[in-house]
Amino acid sequence: MSDYAKMHFETRAIHARQEPDPITGAVVPPIYQVSTFQLPSPDEAGEYAYSRVANPTVVALERAIASLEGGQHGLAFGSGMAATTAAMSLVRSGDHLLITNNVYGGNLQLLRDHLSHYNVIYDFVDMSDPSIVETAIRPNTRLLWTETPTNPLLQVIDIAQIAEIAHRHGAWLGTDNTFASPYFQNPLALGADLVMHSCTKYLGGHSDLVAGVLVTNAELYEPLFETRRTTGGILGPFDAWLMLRGIKTLGIRMQAHQRNALAVAHFLEGHPGVEWVLYPGLKSHPQHAVAARQMRGYSGMVTFKIKGGHAAAVKFIQGLQVFTSAVSLGGVESLVEIPHDMTHESMQGTAMDISPDVIRLSVGLEHAVDLTTDLEQALAAI
């Protein structure tokens, strides 16, 4: 077996833990669309027994993602929220969880509507300021949960600093790395204990699957595996196969996403109809220096505030021809949304509410000129 750990990302994405099938020689891991496996004997367990516990196609994916994130173990789930829920299960009744205050809206729903019933205590804080995190930690804080860049305001959180604070207080740090992808950022190398991806986004890359993954090292693997085994949240083999196909082109796709996003960000930054633009690759971004230090690139998400309020935002989106109004992100096609009305609707009326004139773009792989032309004509029509 080759030592892929010494090879570049693009090579690992295609080959790491994805060796040709030893029986047939197939160069792509086959889809083991099967629920149960023959055991060596009634009293002897085999490597596989039941696909709710483990499946060869899913295991191939888990090993590949672990290689890309520099972790020992991967665990694949039926969605990003299923993976997040398993991670949050590390927090027990009476424990305290600290979570970044600019976060995917589904996380608020998970904490408020479900985990709070189990006496899990939580606080949302601005994790872009480590001093605030230090002040917010309690003696019973068990887990800190970050996104970086965050959804949708693209805050960049200093993973190494937050990890140091967490570990000094005996807590774990989990990081949602969905927006950056493992191509641009590896939180485990910066001190995080656990990494989550909504693989529906960049890892899958084609808007044709829903999946999530956790990557971690030895300490947390067993409790997370047991949670998934017991609750049944494992990813299906066909979606695992689709994702294995997607990650083979992740490197080249992320380069193109970044190139187009930078062009879009520069265009919007100079447009009179735009109040402000957030993109970690812009020097105007508040945490640009942190991003430049801990990331290898800035990905494909751009967020901006349009002049004219919510009505202008709606009219702008209705006038777009190349960008599609839809939730989710990270696919080959460019998408646009108003987080206040869509992905972050659950935050309306809270301190974390997103202004209704803020627009989030997932910049796809179309030609950059076509994208900026589309934005220009839609802005001009308001």
pLDDT digits (tens, 9 = 90+) for 192-217: 999 999 999 999 999 999 999 999 99
Average pLDDT, whole number, for the chain?
95
Of 21, 48, 52, 129, catalytic: 52
Burial class of residue 345, CB neighbours in 10 A (0-12, 13-18, 19+): middle
Q: Can you tell me the mean pLDDT for 338-360?
A: 93
In the prediction, which pLDDT does 18 show?
A: 84
Percentage of residues of the chain with pLDDT beyond 90: 87
Domains observed in the chain: 4-247 (3.40.640.10), 251-380 (3.90.1150.10)
Q: Can you tell me the mean pLDDT for 251-274?
A: 98
Burial class of residue 2, CB neighbours in 10 A (0-12, 13-18, 19+): exposed
Is the pLDDT at 125 greater than 70, yes or no? yes
Taking alpha carbons only, the member of 326, 334, 342, 329 closest to residue 372 is 334
Of 201, 248, 253, 360, catalytic: 201
Q: How many CA atoms lie within 13 A of 179 on its CB side?
A: 30
Cα separation, 119 vs 93, whole angstroms: 5
In the prediction, which pLDDT does 16 show?
A: 85
Cα separation, 340 vs 275, whole angstroms: 17
In the prediction, which pLDDT does 377 show?
A: 98
Is the pLDDT at 110 greater than 80, yes or no? yes
The reply to whether 202 belongs to the active site is: no
Collect all residues with Cβ–Cβ distance below 8 Å to 89 and sequence separation of at least 6. Answer: 223, 224, 227
Of 176, 193, 357, 374, catalytic: 176
Of 104, 122, 221, 298, catalytic: 104
- 37-51, 153-167, 234-248, 249-263: which has the minimum mean pLDDT? 37-51
Which residue in the block uniquely carries the two structure tokens 């996380």?
A: 107
In the prediction, which pLDDT does 2 show?
A: 65
In the prediction, which pLDDT does 122 show?
A: 96
Could you tell me the pLDDT band of residue 20, with boundaries at 50, 70 and 90?
A: confident
The reply to whether 4 belongs to the active site is: no
Taking alpha carbons only, the member of 189, 114, 113, 110 closest to residue 145 is 110
- 41-50, 93-102, 119-128, 231-240: which has the minimum mean pLDDT? 41-50
Q: What is the DSSP letter of 122?
A: E
The reply to whether 104 belongs to the active site is: yes
In the prediction, which pLDDT does 46 show?
A: 83
pTM: 0.95
In the prediction, which pLDDT does 326 show?
A: 97
Report phi then psi at 105, rounded to 5: -60, -30
Burial class of residue 279, CB neighbours in 10 A (0-12, 13-18, 19+): buried
* 331, 362 contact by CB (below 8 A): yes
The reply to whether 201 belongs to the active site is: yes
Cα separation, 264 vs 375, whole angstroms: 8
